[in-house]
Amino acid sequence: MQYIRYPEKSTWNSILQRPAFDTRDLESRVAAILDDVKANGDAAIRKYALQFDKAELNELSISEAQFEAAAAQVSEELKAAIQQAKSNIETFHKRQAEATTVVETMPGVQCWRRATAIEKVGLYIPGGSAPLFSTILMLGIPAKLAGCKEIVLCSPAGKGGIHPAILYTAQLVGITRVFGIGGVQAIGAMAYGTESVPRVYKIFGPGNQYVTCAKQLVSKAGLAIDMPAGPSEVAVLADDTCVPDFVAADLLSQAEHGPDSQVVLVTTSEKVITDVKAAVEKQLAELPRRDIAEKALGNSKLLLVQSLDEAMELLNAYAPEHLIVACADDEAIADRVVNAGSVFLGNYSPESAGDYASGTNHTLPTNGYATAYSGVSLDSFVKKITFQRLSHEGLQQLGPFIETMAAAEGLDAHKLAVTVRLKAINN
């Protein structure tokens, strides 16, 4: 990790730059696969499954027998953990539902808004080096709570099929339309539909640079996606009350996601940096995913700043996906957070809690998009439709204002739509 003492504000943008990779060839390669899936459907999916995942797919969809076999392979301990996480996530997301409220803006003019579920949604669940069954909870639960009629889940089958924990979790949540399809071809299948895979209206879920690029390309063509995404990241703000071993573990937990992940420590204490750096080196040596974490640490920073004010200004400029506040005044500091995906307060709130089981959602904006985007929530799976009803009295009171405004814009038919009604009321 690069240690930078008292960086000048003029250097913040370059210091906090996320890892970048050359995308010049990526888009053309991804677009070619998407076009092939659009044109050739299941045949293209089978071809790319063999090419990229070394899997021969006879049936793309998962059968009831496969769900049952997968459940038998998952330990009772893991099942209990997943069930507890499910309960917590349901509890938190249920509270996000909004009641329909009718607002009378003036006598006889009523307006209201109703949340309506997106009918068809697609969930992409990575299944490579880290089978992210936890993401099914984060996406499937709010989709179910919202009332989405059709939920399609794609996850790479590989040589041994879909990971049992993925199938168990899908079934637990109530998702039965599961397909053993991974990568760009999965995004294409859900975006365009094939003989086996239904077309959806919005796609959710993380993935590697190819999956991310595919989501961005189908989004450009008009399909909705959850949010722009990049590699995973965490920033930690720590003072002398932090526990260096805890901070180190939090940094490494994010670094092990992938070689293009980034972790950042910001503090006003040189001792914190010294102690955390030593703890990182010690813990890193024992990690099974050490090689991945080491590469991510090469993208990462230890930043010593002059004051808490400067630290908060820097962190809000960075807009991290995850922000951990390991400080004595964590709640007061939390009030100053403007840009972050999810915030973890105190020494006993590891980022892993949000990743798995506390109840909040772990599908969050990365790459600085937390300046404008929220993480996935119940709202992500609904549309808000507005309604209005005007009575005779309401139109009589409001109509003249509408006529005046429409005339001023030169939209005579708009004015006429009111005028003919007012004449009918007054006759």
Residue-wise DSSP of 316-344: HHH--SEEEEESTTHHHHHTT--S-SEEE
∠ CA 242-314-274, rounded to 5°: 35
414 among annotated binding-site residues = yes
d(CA 174, CA 62): 14
Q: Is 393 a catalytic residue?
A: no
232 among annotated binding-site residues = yes
Residue-wise DSSP of 97-123: ------EEEETTEEEEEEEEE-SEEEE
355 among annotated binding-site residues = yes
322 among annotated binding-site residues = yes
208 among annotated binding-site residues = yes
216 among annotated binding-site residues = no
Residue-wise DSSP of 148-160: -SEEEEE---TTT
Residue 2 — φ and ψ, nearest 5°? -85, 125
Longest Cα pair distance anywhere in the chain, in angstroms? 87
Of the candidates 163, 233, 256, 322, the residue annotated as catalytic is: 322
Inter-residue contact 267 to 273 (CB < 8 Å): yes
Of the candidates 321, 331, 351, 392, the residue annotated as catalytic is: 321
185 among annotated binding-site residues = yes
Inter-residue contact 232 to 366 (CB < 8 Å): yes
DSSP for residue 58: S
Exposure string over 12-51, b if 16+ CB within 10 A, otherwise e: beeebeebeeeeeeeeeebeebbebbbeebbebbbbbbee
124 among annotated binding-site residues = yes
388 among annotated binding-site residues = no
DSSP for residue 374: P
Q: Is 322 a catalytic residue?
A: yes
Q: Which two tokens stand for residue 242?
A: 């932090």
d(CA 254, CA 283): 13
List binding-site positions for Zn(2+): 254, 257, 355, 414
Active site positions, annotated = 321-322
Annotated binding site for NAD(+): 124, 185, 208
Residues making up the annotated binding site are: 124, 185, 208, 232, 254, 257, 322, 355, 409, 414
